[in-house]
Chain A
Amino acid sequence: MSPARLARWMPRLVLAPSFALAFVFIYGLIAWNGVLSFSASRLLPNYEFVGWTQYATLFASERWGVALQNLAIFSSLFIGLGLGLGLLLAILLDQKIRVEGTLRTIYLYPMALSFIVTGTAWKWILNPGLGLEHLVQSWGWSSFSFDWLVNPDRAIYTVVIAGIWQSAGFVMALFLAGLRGIDDSIIKAAQIDGASLPRIYWRVIIPSLRPVFFSTLLVLAHISIKSFDLVMALTAGGPGFATDVPATFMYAMSFSRGQIGLGAASATVMLATVAAIVVPYLYSELRTRK
C-alpha cells in the first residue's frame, strides 16, 4: 500500500479495534442475552429454544410486578422531585449569592460518592430505633416513628430520599449552567418591559431551559433505571422483595436463584424500555449537530 493510501486509511485502522470491541461488546452480547432469554437456561446456560416462555413467566411473576411498580414509583418521584429541587436551588443560587461557590460544592459533593456509601449512610440514618426516629424522639416528640426502612409499603420511599440526596446537586449544576447561558439582553429587555423578577423567571427564563430539562430528564431516567447499587446497599431489595427493582430482580434471578433465562428476559425488557427513549433522542441529536 502506498504511503498516501495508508495515510488515508489510518483513521479507519485506528478506530477499527475500538469499534470492533464496542460492537461485539454491546451488540454481540445483547444478542447473546437475547438468545439466553429465549432459552431454557436455569443455573447454567442451556440453549434449548423455548420461545416466549421465560417472558411469560416473567410477567406472571409477582416479584417482577412489584419491581416494575417500584420502578414507576421511584422514577417518577426521583425524577420529579429531583428536577424540582435542582431547579429551585439553581434559581436561588443564581441570585448573586456571595458564597455561591461554597454552596455549590456542598450541594454537589454527594455525586462523588458511591451509591453504596450513600446507601450505607442512609441505612444508618433511617435506622428504626437508633436513627432518625430516635433523634426526633430525644428532642421531645416521643411518639414520632419512622420505620419506613423496614416497612414494606414505605421502604421504596427511603430509596427516593437517598437518591435525591445524591443527585439533586447534579441537577442544580446543570440548570445553573443553563441559566448562566441565557443571553442577558433578553432579561434586560423583559425588565425594561416592566416584568417583575418572578414573572421573568416564569415566562422567559424557565421556558428557555427546555433543552436542559430534556437532557437532565434523560440522565435522571437513566440513573433511575440503573439503580441497583443504591437499593442493594439501602435495603437489599427488602423487606422481602418490597423494594425490588428490575435491576435487583435481574441480579437475583441470574446470580443467586439459578434462573439465567428469566434474568436474561428481564434484562431484555429493561433494554427495550431504555432503547425506546434513548434511540430517538440520539438519532435526532446526531442529525442536527452536523
Chain B
Amino acid sequence: MKITFHRFAIWSVLLLFAAFFLLPLYVMVATSLKDMAEVRDGNLLSLPGSLNFAAWHKAWSQACTGTDCGGLQPFFWNSTLMVVPAVLISTALGAVNGYVFSKWKFAYSELMFGMMLFGAFMPLQVVLLPMSQVLGWFNLADSIWGLVIVHVLVGLATTTLFFRNYYVSLPDELVRAAMLDGAGFWRIFWRIVLPLSAPILVVTLIWQFTQIWNDFLFGVVFSAGDAKPITVGLNNMANTSSSVKEYNVDMAAAMIAALPTLAIYVLAGKHFVRGLTAGAVKG
C-alpha cells in the first residue's frame, strides 16, 4: 500500500504541474477562438462556442499597433527577413571561430575566447546607447539590416561557445592526421570538421532562431516604423490604450507570434533541449 501511495503522490504532483504549464496555452488558444461576448460571459477556462478564427484574422491583418492598423502581418515578415540572415551569419561565424579556438590554439587564444565570451553574459543595456549612435552613423538606425548586425554581434559569443565546446570533443589526432595528409586549415574544416558538425549545427540554428525571433529589447530600441519585428508589434497591439480591449485578438496575436518557435520546438525539441543544457551547463 505504501508503495502505491508513493507513486500516486509523485504522479499527482507531476500532473498538477503539467496542468500549471499547459493551462496558459489552453487559455490563449481558447480565448483566441471566442468572440468578445463569449469572453465576457464566460470565464478563462470555458470552451469557445465554435472554432471561430475571426480574431486570428483580425490580429493578422487588421488590428491596430499604435497608429497603423494593418495587423501583425508586416511585423511577421520583418521578423522573418531579420531572423534568416542573422541566424545563418552568426552560426557560420561561430562555427569557424569555435574551430579556431578548439583546434588551432595559439598564444593568448584562451584569453581572447574569454574576452569574447563575456559578451554572452553582459547585460545588453550597456551597449544600447552607443550602438544606436553607431547605427545612426551608418544610416541603419531604422532598418532590418541594423537589427541583423546587432543580433550577429551579440550572437557571436554564444555560437562560438557552442561550437568550441563541441569541437573540443573531436579528437585532436584527426586534425593532425589531416595535416600530415597535406590538408591545410580550410580543407580540414570543409572536409573533416564540418561534416562531423551536424548535431551542434542543428542545436545552434534552433537556439539562435529562438533567441532572435523572440527578442524584444533590440527590436524596440533599434527599429522604428517599418522595420519593427513581431515582438514589438505584439507588445504594441496588446498595450494600445484604445477604447475597447479585444482580448481575443490579443491572444490570437500572441499565438501568431509564438507559432514559429513553438513549431520548431515541437518538431525538433530534442535538439533544443540539448542546446539549452549544453550552453548553460558549460557556463
Interface residues of A (CB under 8 A from B): 7, 10-12, 14-15, 18-19, 21-23, 25-30, 32-33, 36, 45, 85, 88-89, 92-93, 95, 97, 103-125, 127, 130-132, 134-135, 138, 165, 169-170, 173-174, 177-178, 212, 215-216, 218-219, 222, 225-226, 228-229, 232-233, 236, 246-247, 250-251, 254-255, 260, 263-264, 266-268, 270-271, 274-275, 278-279, 281-283, 285-286
Contacts and interface: CB of A to CB of B under 8 A. Distances in A.
Contact of A124 (B109, B129, B250, B272): B250
B116 interface: yes
B258 interface: yes
Contacts of A260: 129
Interface in B52-96: 93, 96
B10 A121 contact: no
15 contacts: A14-B100, A22-B156, A25-B154, A30-B127, A110-B24, A112-B210, A114-B213, A117-B234, A120-B250, A120-B253, A121-B251, A127-B247, A169-B21, A250-B128, A267-B129
Given A33-B129, A125-B27, A165-B20, A108 B269 contact: yes
B283 A212 contact: no
A88 B17 CA distance: 11
B192 interface: no
A105 B122 CA distance: 30
Given A7-B185, A103-B14, A228 B262 contact: no
Contact of A115 (B44, B131, B216, B282): B216
Interface residues of B, number: 91
A19 B124 CA distance: 18
A97 B214 contact: no
Contacts of A283: 114
B24 to A, nearest CB: 5
A124 B128 contact: no
Contacts of B24: 110, 118, 121-122, 125, 165
B177 interface: no
Contact of B106 (A11, A92, A104, A228): A11
Nearest to A170: B276
Contacts of A29: 126-127, 130-131, 134
A134 B43 contact: yes
B119 interface: yes
Interface string B92-117: 01001100110010100110111111
Contacts of B27: 121, 124-125
Nearest to B14: A92
Interface in B184-207: 184-186
Contacts of A104: 273
Given A110-B21, A267-B129, A121 B121 contact: no
A81 to B, nearest CB: 13
Nearest to B19: A106
Given A93-B14, A219-B280, A236-B239, A229 B251 contact: no
B13 interface: yes
B242 interface: no
Contact of B129 (A15, A21, A95, A264): A264
Given A25-B119, A92-B14, A282-B117, A267 B126 contact: yes
A236 B239 CA distance: 8
Nearest to B115: A23
Nearest 3 Cβ contacts at the A-B interface: A114-B214, A11-B104, A112-B265
Interface of B: 10-11, 13-14, 17-18, 20-22, 24-25, 27-28, 31, 39-40, 43-45, 93, 96-97, 100-101, 104, 106, 109-110, 112-119, 121-131, 133-134, 153-154, 156-157, 160, 184-186, 210, 213-217, 220-221, 231, 234-235, 238-239, 247, 250-251, 253-254, 257-258, 261-262, 264-266, 269, 272-273, 276-277, 280-283
Contacts of A88: 13
Name the residue in B112, B130, B262, B273 with the highest tally of chain A Cβ atoms < 10 Å from its Cβ. Answer: B130
Given A113-B214, A228-B217, 18 more contacts: A7-B184, A7-B185, A32-B130, A89-B17, A97-B11, A104-B273, A114-B216, A114-B231, A117-B214, A117-B234, A121-B254, A130-B39, A169-B21, A173-B277, A215-B281, A267-B126, A282-B117, A282-B118
Nearest to A286: B114
Nearest to B31: A124
A117 B257 contact: yes
Contacts of A232: 216, 220, 235
B123 A15 contact: no
A212 B281 contact: yes
Name the residue in B20, B238, B264, B266 with the highest tally of chain A Cβ atoms < 10 Å from its Cβ. Answer: B238
A225 B123 contact: yes
Contact of B247 (A27, A130, A246, A255): A130
Contact of B18 (A103, A120, A263): A103
A132 B43 CA distance: 8
